[in-house]
């Protein structure tokens, strides 16, 4: 049993009058890829925001190494946890190199704004994602896949052992989706990074996750290896989806094949 | 794991390293400020040389360096220097304030004049001129200090109102601009109302102040503003290390360890104070705070207005406007020309960039 640096303890999260997540517990296993799945509006992005300290809990707590992250300094948290929001926006005209350099913010102080370590971490982060060739290109002129890699580079430059990615592949074509997830997998194997992602694509989620967390209506309904979580019963209960689950011919992980209404008679 | 080794420079930019400190070297971000600074010294020297008896530029520079004769030193240091120095200080403060407002609001329209901060200062100053005058001739020290102090407090009140009214679970750029435009409209109307109820002399004096005026600024007015800016500018430049991160969305900024609300409130307060201090001395020199950060960022070619560059350009624009106004029209207030000088150049730069993009 590996440790769990990041723990969610009976957390309640929400916006304005609306509570989205209520009394949720989750231990994120270190050195694993954890993928959160669930229907739209089930609170998975909200949970990720809470885990990354982007949202203050209204009850319960999110713990990092046993300390409540809402009581830790923002900078301290940012040295351990990197968060990539769903739709980050860069100011017009910013180059990839400058964007990635911003990831060093938590390691800088007002009197020492750029060091050799910073330079090194940025170079490394660019190399890992293959964005080094684009360092002097302007972010808003990149393709969707390149832009996403640039943003991931920024969180990598932060040099954290935990990485939270909120729907990192949503606007990408399939080839770029695989590319970004391969990158997440490589970070896990090469750097030992603990990765938590919110994904909509169940088949890719099953393929890349060590632990799959299925959420519905602000609660966790199933948690474990993809083969155990992703069942026909769960798809029907949580997503209201009539589907067959087959073994993925490439990876052996569960493969969800939806049964469309007009084909139901044949199935 | 990265052991200590030769640093791998970030590709695509030139690399400088001094001891433990390394960084990207961008020739333009050094060259542009240096050239503007040289131009500022030259324009300032010409401006100081102008007067009832003209003094050669070289003599002015020699005197300022400490090598002039007694008569010239007396004229230059006692009489002429304060006006130009005020232009430099006020212009730099407006440039820096504008750069901060525009970066935080992520909107080039956000400048202290558009957002109502300078109009708040205007309400304060004009009230003292108009109401103080009729209430029994404020004079001497009270008048010297009263107008700038009232301007300063008016500007700060407007800044706080702006922040309080634009706040809704954080500050968003467009909401800040909309609220600011509303505040500016109210402020300008209060000023016009004050002008109509004041007597003719007060109204004239107030109008001169509103347009922005450097004539008649003496050492006694410079000392407090120099002190205030000497304090505010270093604090602002140190606090501004969060500015690059604040340009992203709030969540991204928080993710990289910035206390978004606190950082933004601090910088807005500093920017308001800078604009209010500057307005208190010379009146709202319209357009300096709006245009110079935009001109500076186009010259230096950075995604956000360069702070030091904006300061130098603000000073250059203000002193140049002062010089032009004296060359062309004798003693018109300088504010008449700051916009006339700055606007065409800004438009030219914008048109040129658009052409580059199309090409």
Q: Is B168 on the interface with A (CB under 8 A)?
A: no
Looking at beta carbons, which residues of chain B come within 8 Å of A126?
10-11
Q: What is the pLDDT of residue B12?
A: 62
Say if the Cβ atoms of B8 and A98 lie within 8 Å. no
Say if the Cβ atoms of A74 and B258 lie within 8 Å. yes
Worst-scoring range by mean pLDDT, A101-110, A144-153, B24-33? B24-33
Q: Residues near A126 by Cβ (< 8 Å), separated by ≥ 6? A: A96, A97, A100, A132, A135, A153, B10, B11
Looking at beta carbons, which residues of chain A come within 8 Å of B302?
93
Q: What is the pLDDT of residue A238?
A: 92
Give the whole-angstrom CA distance, residue B194 versus residue B177.
25
Looking at beta carbons, which residues of chain A come within 8 Å of B2?
117, 120-121, 124
Is pLDDT at B1 greater than 50 in this prediction?
no
Q: Considering only residues 156 to 215 of chain A, which have any Cβ-Cβ distance to chain B shorter than 8 Å?
A: 158
Distance from CA of A138 to the nearest CA of B (A): 10
Is pLDDT at A200 greater than 90 in this prediction?
yes
Give the whole-angstrom CA distance, residue B95 versus residue B118.
13
Residue B160: how many CB atoms within 10 A of its CB?
15
Selected for mutation to probe chain B from A51, A69, A71, A85 (highest B CB count within 10 Å) is A85
Question: Are the C-beta atoms of residues B319 and B288 closer than 8 Å to each other?
Answer: no
Q: Is B14 on the interface with A (CB under 8 A)?
A: no
Worst-scoring range by mean pLDDT, A239-243, A244-248, B41-45, B284-288? B284-288
Q: What is the pLDDT of residue B9?
A: 65
Is pLDDT at B134 greater than 50 in this prediction?
no
Q: Counting every residue, how long is chain A? A: 267
Is pLDDT at B60 greater than 50 in this prediction?
yes
Phi and psi at residue A117, in whole multiples of 5°? -60, -40
Selected for mutation to probe chain B from A45, A74, A96 (highest B CB count within 10 Å) is A74
Q: Is B173 on the interface with A (CB under 8 A)?
A: no
Compute the average pLDDT of residues B14-25: 55
Looking at beta carbons, which residues of chain A come within 8 Å of B257?
74-79, 105-106
Q: Above 0.90 for ipTM, yes or no?
A: no
Q: What is the pLDDT of residue B4?
A: 41
Is pLDDT at B170 greater than 90 in this prediction?
no
Q: Is B67 on the interface with A (CB under 8 A)?
A: no
Say if the Cβ atoms of B255 and A116 lie within 8 Å. no
Looking at beta carbons, which residues of chain A come within 8 Å of B245?
102, 105
Selected for mutation to probe chain B from A46, A50, A116 (highest B CB count within 10 Å) is A116
| Percent of chain A topping pLDDT 70 | 97
Compute the average pLDDT of residues A154-159: 90
Q: Which of the pair, B4 or B310, is modelled with greater confidence?
A: B310
Chain B residue at shortest CA distance from A90: B248
Q: What is the pLDDT of residue B2?
A: 41
Q: What is the DSSP letter of A73?
A: -
Q: What is the pLDDT of residues B275-296, one digit of tens each?
A: 998 888 888 887 889 889 999 9
Is pLDDT at A245 greater than 80 in this prediction?
yes
Nearest to A52 among B10, B255, B302 (CB): B255
**pLDDT averaged over chain B?**
82
Say whether A178 sits in a helix, a strand or coil: helix
Is pLDDT at B106 greater than 90 in this prediction?
no
Q: What is the pLDDT of residues A183-192, one digit of tens each?
A: 999 999 988 8
Nearest to B10 among A78, A108, A126 (CB): A126
Q: Is A113 on the interface with B (CB under 8 A)?
A: yes
Q: What is the pLDDT of residue B313?
A: 95
Q: How many CB pairs under 8 A join A and B?
A: 132
Is pLDDT at A126 greater than 50 in this prediction?
yes
3 state SS for chain B: CCCCCCCCCCCCCEEEEECCEEEEECHHHHHHHHHHHHHHHHHHHHHHHCCCCCCCHHHHHHHHCCCCCHHHHHHHHHHHHHHHHHHHHHHHHHHHHHHHHHHHHCCCCCCCCCCCHHHHHHHHHHHHHHHHHHCCCCCHHHHHHHHHHHHHHHHHHHHHHHHHHHECCCECHHHHHHHHHHHHHHHHHHHHHHHHHCCHHHHHHHHHHHHCCCCCCCHHHHHHHHHHHHHHHHHHHHHHHHHHHHCCCHHHHHHCCCCHHHHHHHHHHHHHHHHHHHHHHHCCCCCHHHHHHHHHHHHHCCCCCCHHHHHHHHHHHHHHHHHHHHHHHCCCCCHHHHHHHHHHHHHHHHHHHHHHHHC
Looking at beta carbons, which residues of chain B come within 8 Å of A83?
251, 254-255
Say if the Cβ atoms of A122 and B249 lie within 8 Å. no
Looking at beta carbons, which residues of chain A come within 8 Å of B7?
116, 119-120, 123
Looking at beta carbons, which residues of chain B come within 8 Å of A123?
7-11
Say if the Cβ atoms of A136 and B12 lie within 8 Å. yes
The predicted model scores a pTM of 0.83
Looking at beta carbons, which residues of chain A come within 8 Å of B303?
91-95, 98
Nearest to A116 among B17, B106, B257 (CB): B17
Looking at beta carbons, which residues of chain B come within 8 Å of A116?
7, 17, 20-22
């Amino acid at each position: 049993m590996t440790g769990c640096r990041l723990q969610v303890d009976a957390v309640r999260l929400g916006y304005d009058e609306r509570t989205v997540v209520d009394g949720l517990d989750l231990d994120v296993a270190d050195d694993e890829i954890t993928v959160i799945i669930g229907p739209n509006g089930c609170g998975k992005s909200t949970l990720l925001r809470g885990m990354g300290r982007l949202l203050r809990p209204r009850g319960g707590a999110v713990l990092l190494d046993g300390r409540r992250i809402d009581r830790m300094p923002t900078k301290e948290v940012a040295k351990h946890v990197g968060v990539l929001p769903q739709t980050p926006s860069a100011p017009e005209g910013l180059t990839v190199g400058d964007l990635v350099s911003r990831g060093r913010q938590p390691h800088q102080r007002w009197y020492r704004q750029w060091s050799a370590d910073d330079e090194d971490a940025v170079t490394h982060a660019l190399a890992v994602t293959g964005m080094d060739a684009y360092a002097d290109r302007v972010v808003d002129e990149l393709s969707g896949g390149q832009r996403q890699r640039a943003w991931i580079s920024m969180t990598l430059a932060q040099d954290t052992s935990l990485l939270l990615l909120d729907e990192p592949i949503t606007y990408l074509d399939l080839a770029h989706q695989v590319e970004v997830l391969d990158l997440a997998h490589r970070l896990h194997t090469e750097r030992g990074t603990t990765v938590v992602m919110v994904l909509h694509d169940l088949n890719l989620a099953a393929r890349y996750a060590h632990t799959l967390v299925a959420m519905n209506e602000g609660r966790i309904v199933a948690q474990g290896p993809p083969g155990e979580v992703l069942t026909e019963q769960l798809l029907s209960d949580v997503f209201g989806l009539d589907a067959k689950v087959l073994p993925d011919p490439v990876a052996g992980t569960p493969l969800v094949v939806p049964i469309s209404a007009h084909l139901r008679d044949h199935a | 794991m990265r052991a200590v080794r030769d640093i791998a420079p970030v590709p695509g930019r030139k690399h400088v390293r001094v001891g433990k400190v390394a960084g990207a070297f961008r020739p333009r971000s050094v060259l542009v400020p240096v050239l503007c600074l040289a131009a500022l010294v030259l324009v300032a020297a010409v401006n100081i040389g102008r007067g009832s008896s003209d003094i050669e530029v070289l003599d002015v520079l020699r005197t300022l360096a400490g090598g002039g004769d007694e008569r010239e030193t007396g004229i230059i240091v006692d009489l002429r220097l304060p006006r130009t120095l005020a232009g430099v200080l006020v212009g730099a403060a407006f440039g820096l304030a504008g750069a901060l407002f525009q970066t935080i609001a992520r909107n080039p329209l956000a400048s202290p004049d558009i957002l109502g901060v300078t109009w708040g200062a205007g309400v304060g100053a004009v009230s003292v001129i108009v109401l103080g005058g009729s209430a029994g001739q404020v004079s001497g020290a009270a008048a010297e200090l009263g107008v700038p102090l009232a301007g300063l407090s008016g500007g700060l009140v407007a800044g706080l109102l702006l922040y309080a009214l634009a706040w809704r679970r954080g500050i968003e750029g467009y909401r800040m601009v909309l609220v600011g435009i509303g505040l500016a409209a109210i402020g300008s109307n209060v000023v016009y109302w004050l002008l109509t109820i004041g007597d003719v002399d007060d109204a004239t004096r107030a109008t001169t102040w509103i347009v922005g005026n450097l004539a008649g600024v003496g050492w006694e007015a410079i000392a407090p503003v120099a002190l205030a800016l000497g304090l505010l500018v270093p604090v602002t430049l140190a606090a501004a290390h969060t500015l690059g991160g604040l340009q992203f969305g709030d969540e991204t900024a928080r993710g990289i360890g910035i206390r978004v609300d606190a950082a933004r409130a601090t910088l807005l307060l500093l920017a308001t104070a800078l604009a209010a201090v500057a307005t208190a001395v010379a009146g709202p020199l319209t357009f300096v705070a709006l245009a110079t950060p935009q001109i500076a960022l186009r010259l230096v070619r950075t995604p956000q207005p360069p702070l030091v560059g904006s300061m130098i350009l603000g000073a250059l624009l203000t002193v140049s406007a002062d010089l032009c106004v004296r060359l062309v029209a004798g003693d018109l207030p300088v504010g008449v020309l700051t916009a006339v000088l700055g606007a065409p150049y800004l438009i030219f730069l914008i048109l040129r960039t658009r052409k580059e993009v199309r090409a």
